[in-house]
């Protein structure tokens, strides 16, 4: 039986040595970045910036020709994260509430989204439906776009709303504490 281990033991000298609870687990970010590297998305979105730890790695994975918007509703966190990302070409951190942003968004469709803001079921369900409504085929995602949803296991109960939208759930119980990752892809061809 694998026992939970300290992050420093699992990843000695890892750049995530300053990882704090609240940031996405490094191995889960690794999966997100692998999906980005595999699909070369042009327009990316992250909801919930916190310290921009995942933002930085998503940017590294997608490259300077991509556009990455990250949303943070708390002003102090947004200020700190914006300063961190100031020199990163194509990265914008916005101080905005995520659903309000999605409701008003008129820009290019997203190829890749990482949902990691408010984990309430109704909130995430609304975000998913605005990104891609599987009943109508409408939304802000490009065909074949990928949406990753953090913490689908455990107390939040997000797994069911991901599965209901044809997504699947990746749980990593052997890798220390993890809330798991939901992954769904919008249809490659519009209905």
Ligand X SMILES: C[S@@+](CC[C@H](N)C(=O)[O-])C[C@H]1O[C@@H](n2cnc3c(N)ncnc32)[C@H](O)[C@@H]1O
Binding site for ligand X (CB under 6 A): 22-24, 46-48, 50-51, 53-54, 71-74, 77, 97-98, 116-118
Nearer to ligand X, 97 or 129 (CB): 97
Report in angstroms how near the CB of residue 11 gets to ligand X at its nearest: 15
Return the C-alpha torsion angle 108, 146, 119, 61, nearest 10: -90
Report in angstroms how near the CB of residue 187 gets to ligand X at its nearest: 26
Nearer to ligand X, 31 or 187 (CB): 31
User: Closest by alpha carbon to 179, among 157, 154, 161?
Assistant: 154
Largest CA-CA distance found in the chain, in angstroms, rounded: 49
Nearer to ligand X, 47 or 186 (CB): 47
Report in angstroms how near the CB of residue 118 gets to ligand X at its nearest: 4
Residue 6 neighbours by CB under 8 Å, 6+ apart: none
Q: How many Cα atoms are found within 13 Å in the side-chain-facing hemisphere of 91?
A: 27
């Amino acid at each position: 039986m694998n026992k939970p281990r300290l992050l420093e033991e699992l990843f000695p000298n890892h750049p995530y040595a300053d990882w704090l609870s609240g940031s996405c687990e490094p191995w889960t970010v690794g999966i997100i970045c692998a999906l980005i590297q595999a699909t070369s998305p042009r327009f990316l979105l992250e909801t919930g910036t916190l310290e921009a730890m995942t933002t930085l790695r998503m940017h590294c994975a997608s490259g300077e020709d991509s556009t990455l918007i990250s949303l943070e509703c708390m002003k102090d966190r947004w200020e700190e994260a914006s300063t961190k990302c100031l020199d990163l070409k194509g990265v914008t951190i916005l101080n905005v509430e995520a659903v309000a942003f999605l409701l008003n968004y008129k820009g290019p469709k997203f190829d890749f989204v990482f949902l990691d803001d408010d984990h309430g079921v109704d909130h995430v369900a609304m975000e998913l439906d605005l990104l891609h409504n599987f009943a109508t085929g409408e939304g802000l995602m490009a065909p074949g776009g990928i949406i990753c949803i953090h913490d689908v296991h455990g107390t939040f109960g997000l797994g069911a709303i991901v599965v209901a939208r044809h997504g699947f759930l990746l749980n990593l119980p052997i890798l220390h504490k993890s809330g798991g990752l939901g992954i769904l892809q919008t249809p490659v061809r519009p209905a």
